Structure 1
């Protein structure tokens, strides 16, 4: 293994001009550098480590120093992917085929949903989703079929003994896996942990205000993408309590300090991170057995009307038809990179999202609370049969172009 203090040459099969998904608009040098660090670490034997929680194959990705820098979720190791290393979902699929998956979601698109949620977050300026993009990575710690590992070993053995023959191989190593790569956030804990603490501990006024604002951004994200998997264990909170710099060493020191010297230097702060967005962007609202509610709807914060700050941030965007047009186009550019992309199914997904945006716009104008928002009748915006082209003509929105449909079917078990 090369010394960790040096930067070794990267094998040929690692080289890609664009390590991020080619259909995403814009070049992100910081994210590209993050992927480069991950590739160099893997080349030096610092391999991604499988996360044993959850129902899919996901991995902590590290840099050359062994520090976790991201979470990678391969497409083929998703809950119902063909190479998912977790046996629970395999048993579910085998023993309960009638209850297989979530009927409102496109199967095996979790990695696109993760990246799509990050895209929506960036476009709306919410800043609650750690940056997530679709990338390709290869590591021996990923779950590969035995035949693929055997073939790779044979090719490498031949190449070592007969380099002239080996140079004709298309690939010596394992095939790179496509999946979502999310930046790792440090210092965060499950929301459930902090919500229990906040039930008994009073937050400073400034922190409570920011927490409410961050919470509202989480609500807006989840509502627009219609997240079907938002429990209190898959959104995170980082809370930095106040720290007093001029803390007296003794009672005598305390008496000598003037009142203005008791300044809080380490100001309290709080931040929310919305992770695990792989079960969003449904092509219809839940209408089977489960309603997939938003668990944050039971918190006290959900009973407070949206703040003016949130309205000023979101309303100008979602009321701009050009913005919605561009958002849908960007999502299309992302989703069409998948080999199984279905244009008709994508239109249905966007129909649900567009309906959610219209409901959200009304809720913000009517000064509703988050819990009132999720109780609104779900609608779907459908294009008329005469529609031609892509979303480039969305800015020509008229009542003759789109139709608004109320989804009458509802899940058997539903809280809202």
Structure 2
């Protein structure tokens, strides 16, 4: 690997979940891949049995390094991490030397249904609680959302991917800190997010206190990354006024592990029902959307997060293109969100307007004898196979997935995007007409 990838062996490591692989690959399972990590920075404290490797080299590496140093100082002063009991996965709050919460750490092998989940949600499933997101792969999605939040537009807190070796984690569902035997250092791949001090539970006061700008900015990000889990529970709220009342608040989005799915799934945009989402985009917001470049974004994510699956990038390209064209046409955030959301009729899901556009684009490609590669359950292409005769109605069988993006070769994908673009204007016109009716 040193010769092939031009990465010095001493600057890299091969990991699989909570294991650092040396000369034995027997632990690697067939439903996920080992991760070759280029270690950007290593910070350790041998006396406290903790070592942290910052993975990747983002523009915010200095801030990440400072936070890591602060949590190590906190551990030296006796401020041990605090397990967070809510939710289904393993989450830990790390503190500084003053005992203040400064970072949230989520080990990838403690996600729901992962091998070391501490809350009883352990399984062998390839796909996690959300379709098209595999167990153990939400951590890098958290980082991807942060990296895509250019200029801190949506206020995503600083997020990085770390390899943490520490004696305070769950192993086989049991906290190492609770063991009577000598504590053993455990290595974990984890997402690491800056803790943002926040105020009250806004559910007690309603959505009218949210600013239009904050709703729009988070909505724009959610559309780009096809967030399947945006609800009131993953917004943090900060007051904008200085008095003791409850004036307008700014929103800070967290928990992006269920974004960038491998297929064009059904998103969850709670903001689509809020009045702020129906307000037209501002000139600044339109300029921001105009400058988005999904091809450039894909290249950036491949470099920063080489473990990210190509299907996730295709979904991001598709959704970003949809957002850009819809904004130019004059649709509101609510319009765009509704077009991406499925409708329930007779207790059965029907494709969303966006999915119907994609289905039609696939049909147009099939009619031109553009062949599709078949993929197995792992998303791997099957050699010598094609499905050129596949029709959109075959994708609807079972109601599991309306639109897949990785069964197309590169030529088919490019042609699909062309046809998709051609179909947008009529769809937007129809949306405007139905909205004005």
TM range (shorter): 0.5 to 0.7
Give the whole-Å Cα distance in 1 for the aligned partners of 2:175 and 2:132. Answer: 33
1:11 aligns with 2:46: yes
Give the whole-Å Cα distance in 1 for the aligned partners of 2:154 and 2:78. Answer: 34
Other-structure match for 2:323 = 360
Give the whole-Å Cα distance in 2 for the aligned partners of 1:295 and 1:76. Answer: 28
Give the whole-Å Cα distance in 2 for the aligned partners of 1:49 and 1:400. Answer: 46
| Change in 2 beyond 3 A, CA 1:99/1:34 | closer
Partner residue of 1:328 out of 274, 279, 298: 298
Other-structure match for 2:311 = 348
| Change in 2 beyond 3 A, CA 1:193/1:348 | same
| Change in 2 beyond 3 A, CA 1:134/1:188 | farther
Partner residue of 1:72 out of 105, 116, 123: 105
Other-structure match for 1:166 = none
Partner residue of 1:176 out of 187, 190, 201: 187
Give the whole-Å Cα distance in 1 for the aligned partners of 2:51 and 2:166. Answer: 14
Secondary structure of the corresponding residue to residue 313 of structure 2: helix
Kindly indicate whether the alpha-carbon contact (under 8 Å) linking 2:160 and 2:192 is maintained by their aligned counterparts in 1: yes
1:47 aligns with 2:10: no
Q: Show the 5 A alignment for 1:1-400.
A: 10-11=45-46, 14-15=50-51, 19-22=53-56, 24-26=57-59, 28-87=61-120, 89-90=121-122, 93=123, 101-121=129-149, 123=150, 125-145=152-172, 173-195=184-206, 198=208, 211-243=211-243, 270-286=249-265, 291-315=266-290, 317-318=291-292, 323-336=293-306, 338=307, 346-376=309-339, 377-378=353-354
Which entry has the higher C-alpha Rg, 1 or 2? 1
1:28 is displaced (CA, Å) by 2.2
Give the whole-Å Cα distance in 2 for the aligned partners of 1:272 and 1:189. Answer: 12
Kindly indicate whether the alpha-carbon contact (under 8 Å) linking 2:170 and 2:176 is maintained by their aligned counterparts in 1: no
TM-score, normalising length: structure 1? 0.66
Other-structure match for 2:349 = none
Give the whole-Å Cα distance in 2 for the aligned partners of 1:284 and 1:333. Answer: 22
1:403 aligns with 2:419: no
Secondary structure of the corresponding residue to residue 34 of structure 1: helix
The unaligned stretches of length 5 or more in structure 1 are 1-8, 157-171, 245-265, 387-396, 407-416
1:56 is displaced (CA, Å) by 0.5
Kindly indicate whether the alpha-carbon contact (under 8 Å) linking 2:215 and 2:276 is maintained by their aligned counterparts in 1: yes
The unaligned stretches of length 5 or more in structure 2 are 1-43, 340-352, 373-409, 421-437
- For CA contacts below 8 A with separation 6 or more, give which structure has more relative contact order: 1
1:375 is displaced (CA, Å) by 2.8
| Change in 2 beyond 3 A, CA 1:305/1:147 | closer
What per-residue deviation string (whole Å, max 9, x for no partner) do you get for residues 284-305 of structure 1? Answer: 122xxxx443111111112222
Kindly indicate whether the alpha-carbon contact (under 8 Å) linking 2:298 and 2:313 is maintained by their aligned counterparts in 1: yes
Secondary structure of the corresponding residue to residue 160 of structure 2: strand
TM-score, normalising length: structure 2? 0.63
1:149 is displaced (CA, Å) by 5.7
